[in-house]
């Protein structure tokens, strides 16, 4: 593994001194600020006629600044319940739990949705966090069925779970780097049921992704297309990045988080090494912004006009904090990097001004710049991983 350049290490150490003076997750002031901001979300379940509207989950803001709601089939639908569960953990207030239970329950039928790979994204923040906190047996049953549904998309020839069913004109069997995040559901199900099938599929998918998704510098392609009959790699693309050979920032964050989680679940050192390689790539990027919040693609050089992606930063912060618990050589660097990211995200530059953005916590995320979709806006998953990172920061501090 390459060493972090001396200049970058100096900057990290210098900023860590500044971080110690800022509020962190354990501080009541920050928690109160977050609680107050989230209270500005409209009480969706009380303002909509649920018989006529299926869109109840906040995702982002429209171009005109209105709250954009999505239905339960949207890949982001589980993150708002997850935000509510995290707030219950941070505050202990039952009002957050009651809201979390309501929005979680609205996803119940998704346990049978086999139309995409996003069941982990939907169910682990909602039912998964809910089960951790309540031990509700119904939540457990929903999660196990969700895992059973997810593995129906596994192809033995490819050795991966199929990601998308759309864009069939481009890919016969597409697998995206994001799909690593859904493996946590399978690892959980294997532990809960004792069935190794879930575990074996998750590990096989992780190995296939490690073999074909990464370049020699451990940057990642977004989409790898396979022949479903032979398993042969047909194409490699970076669908949401600047170019096929560029490094989409959130994709790198998914890779960092994914292999850190996979090491946690398997304790296989090859996954720890992979996570550290990806971390090293991120930390050694020559033009990583001083505030540690990346542009939407790491290969862009225009720091003035190109939008940032706070969601990528939030995912990275959470991943770095967990990785610090496993890495013998780089733990302090990972903690310091995560602290600096969270300091930036908690600053006025990225944290929404009181009462603005309809209650979203973070501004300046980018969904898909090539499609001009959700550019420089709040995104619910940015808020989710920001809160997760704050909880992990609090855990390490304690």
Task: Count CB-CB contacts under 10 A for residue 354.
Answer: 9
Residue linked to tokens 């990275």 = 316
Q: Is the pTM of this model over 0.85?
A: yes
DSSP for 265-317 reads: HH--HHHHHHHHHHHHHHHT-TT--TTS--BSBTT---TTTSPB-HHHHHHHH
pLDDT of 170 reads: 85
The domain spans of the chain are 25-397
With b meaning 16 or more CB within 10 Å and e meaning fewer, what string describes 43-75?
ebeeeeeeeeeebbbbbbbeeeeebbbbebebb
pLDDT of 272 reads: 98
Angstrom distances, CA of residue 91 to CA of 27, 286, 291, 360: 11, 39, 28, 18
CB-count burial class (<10 Å; 0-12, 13-18, 19+) for 379 = buried
CA dist., res. 243 & res. 366, Å (int):
16
pLDDT of 54 reads: 81
Q: pLDDT below 70 — which residues of the chain?
A: 1-26, 43-53, 286-287
- Which residues, other chains included, contact 225 with Cβ-Cβ below 8 Å and sequence gap of 6+? 170, 171, 172, 173, 174, 175, 233, 234, 235, 236, 237
Q: Indicate which residues carry an active-site annotation.
A: 118, 178
25-397: CATH, from 1.10.10.10, 1.10.3720.10, 3.40.50.10860, 1.50.10.10: 1.50.10.10
pLDDT tens track for 40-60:
887 665 555 444 568 899 999
């Amino acid at each position: 593994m390459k060493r972090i350049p001396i200049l970058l290490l100096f900057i990290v150490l210098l900023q860590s001194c500044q971080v110690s003076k800022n509020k962190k997750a354990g501080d009541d002031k920050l928690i109160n600020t977050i609680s107050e901001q989230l209270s500005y979300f409209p009480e969706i379940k009380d303002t909509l006629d649920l018989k006529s509207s299926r869109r109840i989950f906040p995702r982002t803001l429209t171009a005109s600044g209105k709250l954009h709601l999505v239905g339960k089939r949207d890949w982001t639908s589980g993150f708002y319940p997850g935000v509510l569960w995290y707030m219950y953990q941070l505050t202990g207030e039952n009002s957050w739990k009651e809201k979390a239970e309501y929005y979680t329950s609205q996803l119940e039928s998704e346990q049978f949705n086999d139309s995409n790979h996003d069941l982990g994204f939907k169910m682990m923040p909602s039912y998964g966090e809910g089960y951790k906190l309540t031990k509700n047996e119904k939540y457990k049953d929903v999660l196990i069925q969700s895992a059973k549904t997810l593995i129906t998309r596994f192809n033995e020839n490819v050795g991966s779970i199929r990601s998308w069913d759309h864009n069939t004109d481009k890919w016969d069997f597409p697998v995206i780097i994001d799909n690593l995040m859904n493996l946590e559901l399978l690892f959980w199900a294997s532990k809960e049921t004792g069935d190794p099938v879930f575990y074996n599929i998750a590990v096989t998918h992780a190995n296939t992704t490690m073999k074909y998704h990464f370049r020699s510098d451990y940057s990642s392609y977004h989409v790898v297309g396979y022949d479903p009959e032979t398993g042969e790699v047909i194409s490699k693309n970076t669908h949401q990045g600047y170019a096929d050979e560029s490094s989409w920032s959130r994709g790198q964050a998914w890779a960092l988080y994914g292999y850190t989680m996979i090491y946690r679940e398997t304790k296989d050192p090859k996954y720890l090494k992979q996570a550290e390689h990806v971390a090293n790539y991120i930390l050694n990027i020559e033009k990583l912004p001083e505030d540690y919040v990346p542009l939407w693609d790491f290969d862009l050089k225009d720091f003035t006009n190109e939008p940032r992606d706070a969601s990528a930063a939030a995912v990275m912060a959470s991943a770095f904090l967990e990785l610090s618990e496993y890495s013998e050589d780089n733990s302090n660097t990972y903690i310091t990097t995560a602290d600096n990211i969270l300091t930036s995200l908690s600053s006025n530059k990225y944290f929404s001004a009181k009462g603005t953005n309809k209650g979203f916590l973070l501004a300046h995320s980018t969904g898909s710049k090539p499609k001009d979709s959700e550019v420089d806006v709040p995104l619910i998953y940015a808020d989710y991983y920001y809160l997760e990172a704050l909880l992990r920061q609090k855990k390490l501090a304690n």
